[in-house]
Amino acid sequence: MKLYKIDASKNQKELLKQLNVDSGGIAIISDKMNIMTFLIRDLRTPAANILKQDALSIGAEVATPRGTITCETQFCDVLLIVTPAQLKKIIKKELAQPFGLKAVAQELQKFNKTNKFEPKIMGIINANSDSFYDKSRFNSANAISEIEKMIEDGADIIDIGAVSSRPNAPIVSSDEEMERIKDICDAIKEQKLYEKAIFSIDSYTPSVVEYALISGFKIINDITGASDNEIIKLAIKYSSKLCIMHMQGTPQTMQQTPHYEDVMSEVSDFFEERITKCEALGLGKENIIIDVGIGFGKSLEHNLALIKNLSHFEKFGCEILMGASRKSMIDKIIKTPIEDRLSGTLAIHLKALENGANIIRCHDVSEHKQAISVWQEIQGA
């Protein structure tokens, strides 16, 4: 007899098939191998007691603070621990319960129908002279050759921006932004490079965005998070996707003591509001990408919390972009100059993929292509 511990967190059904388990048993057992944990904050104490009893009745569990059963406090935080099958049952039960449990059930329903997207690599082209990583800076004379190299290296998307969004970046006029990017857009259009990769315009200036969309770009990467309705309308007009990023403040102010009462809750509420606005104007979730904005008005602790709990944002049913390439959070963990942060970048991005991201925005395309290919093979093994 031989015994060893295995990682069965992924591909449970394939593992069971290899063991020649009966098809009916595969569905039942694979579900039990998948555990989901939800943190529910500020739940009324009577609701916590009802939820715990309902969970126990179906074989699930709710962890509550000591004193909950005697209602020592009016509100409490709890952990709900369920399998996917149990989640469906608990939703059905709580929809009929009082004390705010119906709202809990409605929120849980969002996690019961998440979509899975194939990983994509987004290469970065900065058409300016002040982005924080100097090797990402290009002009109209050398940008096209770098774009072609990125496509050859495995980039699915090329993100091009003419204005730096690093902390304390200088403000650039719309005319200057257009001047920096116009020739690149023209070359992409003339050479039909949009047939070889998807192009993304990193801008929130309507005139620049529209010029890029006319040139064959298919994604708007808006660091202001669709604050301008005109950007949403342009996405609809040109049938493009819109990436909504969260940022606290502006590039000029965002790293001046960023503060949140609850970063997960506040970023989630932000996406709820912006996605609702997009849908009201006619832009569906299939054309919305969300980006939690690593380093945009966040401390190291905020960034780590968002990466660790990124799967929360799958509830929106949108593609999720992660962009931590060579950012200062790596330096805050282990002192490292920008040019030596590739290893830290790959560590963050692979964890983000594991936690639900599918678009990885990076400076180093070939290295990411290799790392993601190996990661996918391990995931499928």
pLDDT of residue 135: 72
Q: Is the pLDDT of residue 170 over 70?
A: yes
Q: What are phi and psi of 67, to 5 degrees?
A: 95, -5
Q: What percent of the chain has pLDDT over 70?
A: 98
Q: Active-site residue among 52, 93, 298, 361?
A: 361
Q: Whole-angstrom distance between the N-terminal and C-terminal Cα of the chain? A: 23
Q: Is 361 among the residues known to form the active site?
A: yes
**pLDDT tens digits along 174-207:** 999 999 999 999 999 999 999 999 999 999 999 9
Query: Which of 202, 238, 247 shows the shortest CA–CA distance to 221?
Result: 202
Mean pLDDT calculated for residue range 27-55: 92
User: Model confidence at 166, in pLDDT bands (50, 70, 90)?
Assistant: confident
Residue-averaged pLDDT of the chain: 93
CATH number of 120-380: 3.20.20.20
Q: Give the Cα separation of 124 and 133 in Å (integer).
A: 11
**CA 372 – CA 367 distance, rounded (Å):** 9
CB-based contact 33:6 (threshold 8 Å): no
Mean pLDDT of 296-306: 96
Q: Which of 215, 228, 165 is nearest to 188 (CA)?
A: 215
Architecture of the CATH domain 35-112: 2-Layer Sandwich (3.30)
Using pLDDT thresholds of 50, 70 and 90, give the confidence band for residue 6.
low
Structure tokens at 65: 């603070």
Tokens of 290: 């969300």
Note if 327 is an active site residue. Answer: yes
Domain ranges in the chain are: 35-112, 120-380
Alpha carbons 26 and 14: distance in angstroms, whole number: 9
- pLDDT confidence band for 75 (50 / 70 / 90): very high
The residue written with tokens 């039990």 in the block is 32
CA nearest neighbour of 321 among 366, 358, 347:
358
- Lowest-pLDDT range of 5-9, 242-246, 355-359: 5-9
Is residue 381 scored above 70 in pLDDT? no
What is the pLDDT, as a whole number, of residue 203? 97
Identify the active-site residue in 274, 298, 327, 341. Answer: 327
Question: In whole angstroms, what is the distance from residue 153 CA to residue 147 CA?
Answer: 10
